[in-house]
């Protein structure tokens, strides 16, 4: 059951990617086996697992994404760039653009190749950001001006959907925000039936945001592409930034361009390839 995995990261948000087109991937995964593989102490370690499948009807490939706890996820902006690296290496796309079918719908990725032909950065169409409660999904009359209080700290912000749910909270300083203490509680806020990603955000300059993120099913990560996009869209709706926003996260910087759809630009780095016996992590044949 040996399968080759590629480990990559986008601004520190790391993923294990399986080329399911050219590699035989055992079908017997469970949330537990994915979690074991992504475990940073007894597994390889990653924020999530992506299986790239064969595309149909105009798509170059598909993206099957799981969080580090094994739960399924709809989309990841950083994960899309990691997937794109593996797709380009496999000869998919035309060298300029890749079309990917995700759990949140079809997405196009504009490719930036280095001198050796490897992918070094990409711009992803993240789709239209929604503030409609039913589409996020959110069980509340409005996505705006939501409040939550823990241990005497009251948070205020807006919910947004980027193919997955987000709660964008404005804080004085993300560096001192209680992300790891309150993020787990906010993730399971009863108003979000599918749980939610949580962004702790501050405006730190003209068209600049700084944030830390608690990712649903993962924990605090160094970056979150969809979270960066949601934060920029919420700040733009509030009139705090323009339609081109630089977002600083612990793992690096991203640029978000807001129009009818949101476009996210960021780096991608290949870390290593490894052959793994997936049976050791609970996969069954």
pLDDT in tens, the chain (285 residues): 688 999 999 999 999 999 999 876 666 678 899 999 999 999 999 999 999 999 999 999 999 999 999 999 999 999 999 999 999 999 999 999 999 999 999 999 999 999 989 999 999 999 999 999 999 999 999 999 999 999 999 999 999 999 999 999 999 999 999 999 999 999 999 999 999 999 999 999 999 999 999 999 999 999 999 999 999 999 999 999 999 999 999 999 999 999 999 999 999 999 999 999 888 888 876
CATH number of 111's domain: 3.10.310.10
Q: Please tell me the distance from the alpha carbon of residue 143 to that of residue 9, in angstroms, as a whole number.
A: 31
Q: Could you count the other beta carbons within 10 Å of the beta carbon of residue 36?
A: 18
Q: Please tell me the distance from the alpha carbon of residue 189 to that of residue 173, in angstroms, as a whole number.
A: 22
Same-domain status, 106 and 34: yes
Same-domain status, 255 and 272: no
* Total count of domains within the chain: 2
Same-domain status, 94 and 153: no
Q: Please tell me the distance from the alpha carbon of residue 108 to that of residue 263, in angstroms, as a whole number.
A: 10
- Give 198-238 as a DSSP string: EEEEEEEETTEEEEEEEETTTEEES--HHHHHHHHHHHHHT
Same-domain status, 145 and 251: yes
State the pLDDT at residue 122. 98
Same-domain status, 62 and 149: no
State the pLDDT at residue 28. 66
State the pLDDT at residue 22. 84
Same-domain status, 108 and 73: yes
Cα angle: 271, vertex 21, 265; to 5 degrees: 50
Same-domain status, 20 and 114: yes
State the pLDDT at residue 31. 87
Same-domain status, 138 and 250: yes
Confirm if 12 and 221 have CB atoms less than 8 A apart: yes
pTM of the model: 0.93
Same-domain status, 106 and 29: yes
Same-domain status, 165 and 71: no
Same-domain status, 274 and 222: no
The residue written with tokens 């939501």 in the block is 146
State the pLDDT at residue 216. 96
Same-domain status, 156 and 236: yes
Q: Which residue range forms the structural domain that includes residue 276?
A: 2-125+267-281
């Amino acid at each position: 059951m040996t399968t080759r995995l590629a480990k990559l990261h986008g601004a520190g948000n790391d993923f294990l990617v399986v080329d399911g087109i050219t590699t035989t991937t055992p079908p017997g995964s469970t949330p537990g086996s994915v979690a074991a593989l992504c475990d940073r102490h007894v597994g390889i370690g990653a924020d999530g697992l992506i299986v790239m499948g064969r595309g149909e009807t105009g798509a170059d490939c598909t993206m099957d994404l799981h969080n580090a706890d094994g739960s399924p996820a709809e989309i990841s902006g950083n994960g899309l760039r990691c997937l794109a690296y593996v797709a380009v290496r496999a000869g998919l796309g035309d060298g300029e653009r890749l079309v990917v079918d995700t759990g949140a719908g079809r997405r196009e990725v504009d490719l930036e190749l280095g001198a050796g032909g490897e992918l070094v950065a990409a711009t992803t169409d993240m789709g239209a950001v929604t503030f409609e409660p039913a589409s996020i999904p959110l069980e509340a009359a409005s996505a705006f001006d939501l409040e939550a209080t823990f241990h005497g700290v009251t948070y205020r912000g807006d919910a947004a959907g980027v193919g997955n749910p987000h709660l964008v909270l404005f804080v004085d300083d993300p560096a001192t925000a209680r992300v790891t203490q309150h993020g787990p509680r906010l993730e399971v806020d009863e108003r979000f039936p599918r749980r939610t990603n949580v962004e702790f955000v501050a405006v730190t300059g003209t068209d600049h945001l700084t944030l830390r993120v608690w990712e649903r099913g993962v924990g605090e990560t160094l970056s979150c592409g969809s979270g960066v996009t949601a934060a920029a869209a919420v700040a733009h709706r509030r009139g705090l930034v323009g339609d081109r926003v630089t977002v600083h996260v612990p793992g690096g910087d991203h640029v978000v361009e807001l129009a009818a759809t949101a476009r996210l630009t960021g780096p991608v780095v290949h870390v290593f390839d490894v052959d793994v016996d997936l049976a050791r992590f609970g996969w069954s044949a």
